[in-house]
Amino acid sequence: MQRQPLPKFVDARKFVAGGMKIHASQQVADLSRFAAGLANTSGSVDVDLRFFRSEQGFKCIVGAAVSQVEVLCQRCMEAMPICIEAEFNLAIVWTDEQAKALPKSLDPLILGEDEDLVLADLLQDELIINTPFVSYHDDAVCKVFELESEPEPVNVVSDAEEGDTPFAILGQLKPRD
């Protein structure tokens, strides 16, 4: 099944009342805040959303997003592919007091009374939260480790004998008056 483009805006209350589902795809390049933390803007995000009213009466959105993107390896600063998966359970509320009353299993999504839900903003927030803060290549692949090889032992030639102290060696280096 081919995915449709992600709608820009939805009336969340109507989608909850209708028990709507969205199976969509969005280009990473169209998600500017999310793309800012990546190595490039190639790729897309597959998203599945389900709008419904819970048994407790909460207006809920359950969603999952998956994206294959490239981030920077923090060792070699080269692009590396990762898969970002975000799963979320949200309850639509209109005030901070309603948000505080939610069960721990639901995160609040605060909307104004007549405000439409901007799906791209919701998607970006969830992807950013699930993007690793620091990413590294595996040691076997990272270019930093390719540059390292077994170092050659350094031979220090010294006139000092084994019994001399380090200060005696320094004394030999100091010019005598």
- The whole-model pTM stands at 0.76
- Give the residues across from 108 on adjacent strands: 91
Share of the chain above pLDDT 90, in %: 67
Task: Tell whether the torsion through CA atoms of 10, 12, 14 and 18 is positive or negative.
Answer: positive
* Closest by CA position to 65, among listed 29, 25, 105: 25
Task: Between 67 and 142, name the one with better pLDDT.
Answer: 67
Give residue 21's Cα distance to chain centre: 25
- CB-CB neighbours of 174 under 10 Å: 7
Residue-wise pLDDT for 116-161, tens only, equals 999 999 999 999 999 999 988 887 878 877 655 555 555 555 554 5
Q: Residue 22: helix, strand or coil by DSSP?
A: strand
